[in-house]
Amino acid sequence: MSIRTRLTLWYVGLLAAILIVFALILYSFLAYNLRAEVDQTLETRAQQVAASLQAENDPLSVMLLGLVTLPPIDVFSSPGVYVQVLRTDGSIARRSANLEDQYLPIDREVFAQNMHGESVLYTIQTHQVRLRIFSAPLTVAGRIIGAVQVGQSLYEVDSTLRTVRLLLSGGIAATLLLAALGGAFLSRAALRPIDRITQTALRISRAEDLSQRLERTGPQDEVGRLAATFNEMLERLEELFTTQQRLVADVSHELRTPLTTIRGNIDLLRRGAAEDPQARRETLEAIEGEVTRMSRMVADLLLLAQADAGIKLEKKPVELDTLLLEVYRQAQLMADGVEVKLGHEDQAVVMGDADRLRQLLLNLVDNAIKYTPAGGKVKLSLYHEQGWVQVAVSDTGMGIPPEDLPHIFERFYRTDKARRRGGTGLGLSIAKWIAEAHGGHLTVESEVGKGSTFTVWLRPATAVTKGST
């Protein structure tokens, strides 16, 4: 069953329950009041007859002679109210004129009760109508001399109640019908945007086109927020999908070059290079170089995949100045005609993974040496100030064109000039990830022809962690 139908049914059901309870209360109240009014009239009339009988008769003559004068009872009858006086033997002594040749039915049991001084209120069904009768004993000077019956047809009350019943049930039925139509319309209108979202989602999944978005013309309500969230999700999916596609394309492209070189060199060996020791050495070196580069790329990719999966680094206090000294020594071995210097060096301890931090600095130093021509300079420095530990690697190399600067931290991005120098284009992505995984960041300043400075910003370990190992 659709939400629309369920909503409508709930709505109509609830309304029906409320209306029925309301109608029942209203009807019972009305019926009770109408009947109570009839009963009240009957009792009052009977009391009036009894009172007038008392007033008209002298108790002494009643007691001694048994003489009773009956009052003119028509005074007490009104249209629809019939009065009848019975003697003690149950015969009719007097009837109101509006009874004409009829009489009020006499119930023996009730009459017997009257003769014992009790008043009785009861309803009887004659062949046409229901009659409400109040039957009370008549006493003069403490002696029961008969009974008075006051009756009223319940026809009017019953037909009024019938009309009310008809109106209420008709009204309720009509209201529920309208409510069902209105409810169905409203729930359809409320759920239409959700239908649209479903349609778009279906279109997207069928066409496999993640660039589509939901139109958001409505207000910022629940559905509006759902559409916004859905769009955000699509945005993220599209981004991930594109990154994934680009990565696969990049990886296959990057692997193709070394593989082609290796195959070319193997061909060379086959075609005779293996005979000449010099040629053989060069060919094997070329193969080895490409294999090393490929291994590095695979290792880098593996690390970046782990980074994407959100691996947690094991952090311990690391003396960054000592680490920088180690990197400096290693850099001197890689220098290749470039002068590597150690600049300003403060002491600093950070919480981190020493191996990863070493890898970060080595990547920066490796780049600095790689992109600085022989005779140039590379300087490593460490500053500890204003709540930050900064490790700067600056060089006097070729620099980075401003249009490339925003992209150099992207995976596989390399400037045109750098392409000729091997490299994988992954070093800076890894460096950036390591800095960020330590709660820091990596910045760069560069000028073409003058050189570049890469700075790693890290938070120093607090005094407490500094002391503990």
Q: What residue ranges bind ligand ADP (CB under 6 A)?
A: 363, 367-368, 371, 395, 397-400, 408, 413-415, 418, 423-429, 452
3-state secondary structure (DSSP) of residue 284: helix
Query: Cα–Cα distances in Å, from 20 out to 24, 25, 178, 390?
Result: 6, 9, 16, 78
Q: Which is nearer to ligand ADP, 72 or 401 (CB)?
A: 401
Report the C-alpha gap between 44 and 325 in whole angstroms: 118
Nearer to ligand ADP, 371 or 433 (CB): 371
E strands, 141-200, where? 143-153
Supply the DSSP string of 379-410, one letter for each residue: EEEEEEETTEEEEEEEE-S----TTTGGGTTS
Choose between 224 and 376: whose C-beta lies nearer to ligand ADP: 376
Q: Give the nearest distance from C-beta 201 to ligand ADP in angstroms.
A: 38
One-character DSSP codes across 339-360: EEEEEEE---EEEE-HHHHHHH
| Nearest residue (CB) to ligand ADP, 135 versus 363 | 363
Report the distance separating Cα 298 and Cα 193, nearest Å: 47
Q: Nearest approach, Cβ of 230 to ligand ADP (angstroms)?
A: 35
Q: How far is the CB of 395 from ligand ADP (least distance, A)?
A: 5
The CB-of-345 to ligand ADP minimum distance in angstroms stands at 20
Nearer to ligand ADP, 96 or 415 (CB): 415
Cα 9 to the center of its chain, rounded Å: 22
Minimum distance from residue 256 beta carbon to ligand ADP (Å): 17
Least distance to ligand ADP, CB of residue 331, Å:
13
CA distance 110 to 151: 14
Handedness of CA 344, 347, 349, 353 (dihedral sign): positive
Shortest spacing between CB 451 and ligand ADP, in angstroms: 7
What's the chain's length in residues? 469
Q: Residue 135 or residue 424: which is nearer to ligand ADP going by CB? A: 424
User: Closer to ligand ADP at the Cβ: 98 or 453?
Assistant: 453
117 exposure class (CB count in 10 Å sphere: 0-12, 13-18, 19+): exposed
